[in-house]
Amino acid sequence: MNRSVRLAPVLAAIFLAGLLVVLLALGWFSQRQAEQVRAELLDQSTMAAQLTALQQAADDSGKTELSQASQSALESLAPAVQDVTVTDYEPVEQQLQSTVSALLEVGFTTQDAGDRARALTAVVDVWGAAQQDELTEQAYPDALSDELEQVTSYSCGDEQLTAGVTDSSTAGQVAQPASLLPLQESIYQLNYVSEVYLARAEQGYAPVAEQAAQLALATDRIGQLAAPVLTCYGAFEAPAASYPLAEAADAPQQLTDFTAALEQNARATLADQTLATSADDIKALALILALDSQELAA
């Protein structure tokens, strides 16, 4: 009896010590897990702060399109990073350039394909909104100048196209990104129909001739811009001999639809997670084409 009484405090101490060890382990694990989550969301946290600053600057200056685009981009991020408070931001023109520069930095440096797509897509969205709000007449952000120069004067290097995704239908060979063929097709078809309608201006297509001339010139430049990059990455596809044409009355709508398809396919390439994170030139090309097609559609 006395022995049991003497052992009770010892057993209690052992139990409490074990419980303390368990609690400390759980606390350490929870802390490590929280640190890991914060590290994984670091790029998104950067984007959230920048987009919030841009939205507040846009709200202050009554730029509704830019405010809405910033909010939409913010909502594409993880809920854990969306509720951010920003008290220090620049006037809207300067904040636009700052935010776009930060988004481009994330888009071209992150190793996360999802964050890459979110950042570069946000650039397209907020820049297009800024153009609608007449904040800028520039075709491209200042921070994109280096990538634009690189793509414009492209020469082959040690390109890696895919993120190493294999295709079982091709005996385990590395799969080609599915977005690149539709992107090229959309360039070719818009260029083809534009040039045909321009050539047929005196055969009933005069009402669409001006639009066709603009699109033919733009898509010719886009095609020349894209070909060297895609060739070096082994993804170049030659155009078909012809593409479907519309009657004169339907030609304006077809040109509008084909222009929208070009933007849609450029955005799809930005979102293509089978692209290697090192394929900066493909990402830059897709971003340039998305901005170009967005401006053509305006």
| pLDDT tens by residue, 82-120 | 888 888 899 999 999 999 999 999 999 998 989 999 999
Banded pLDDT at 221 (limits 50, 70, 90) = very high
- Closest-CA residue to 283 (of 267, 260, 264): 267
User: Which residues make Cβ contacts (< 8 Å) with residue 278, sequence separation at least 6?
Assistant: 160
User: Which tokens is 170 given?
Assistant: 């091709």
Average confidence (pLDDT) over 203-207: 95
CA distances from 264 to 13, 25, 197, 259, 261 (A): 67, 50, 23, 9, 5
Residues across the chain: 298
Flag the least confident range among 65-74, 94-103, 150-159, 285-294.
150-159
| Two tokens, residue 230 | 């895609």
What is residue 61's three-state secondary structure? Answer: coil
Return all residues near 293 (Cβ < 8 A) that are at least 6 apart. 259, 260, 262, 263, 266
Q: Which two tokens stand for residue 8?
A: 């009770």
Q: Residue 244: pLDDT band by 50, 70, 90 thresholds?
A: very high
Mean pLDDT on 248-260: 96
Q: How far apart are CA 269 and CA 282, in angstroms?
A: 8
Share of the chain above pLDDT 70, in %: 81
pLDDT for position 172: 42
DSSP 266-294: HHHHHT-TTB-TT-HHHHHHHHHHHHHHH
pLDDT at res. 81: 92
Is residue 265's pLDDT more than 50? Answer: yes
- Find all residues with CB under 8 Å of 253, minimum gap 6, and list them: 246
Q: Give the pLDDT confidence score for residue 25 in this predicted structure.
A: 60
Per-residue confidence (pLDDT) for residue 284, from 0 to 100: 93
Q: What is the mean pLDDT of the chain?
A: 86
Degrees to nearest 5, angle at CA 90 with 86 and 96:
100
CA distances from 198 to 70, 195, 249, 271 (A): 38, 5, 14, 34
HSE value, Cβ hemisphere, 13 Å, CA-based, for 233: 29
**Residue 197: which of 256, 143, 156, 137 has the closest Cα?**
256
What pLDDT, on a 0 to 100 scale, did the predictor assign at position 157? Answer: 73
What does the block give as tokens for 9?
């405090």
DSSP 3-state of 69 = helix
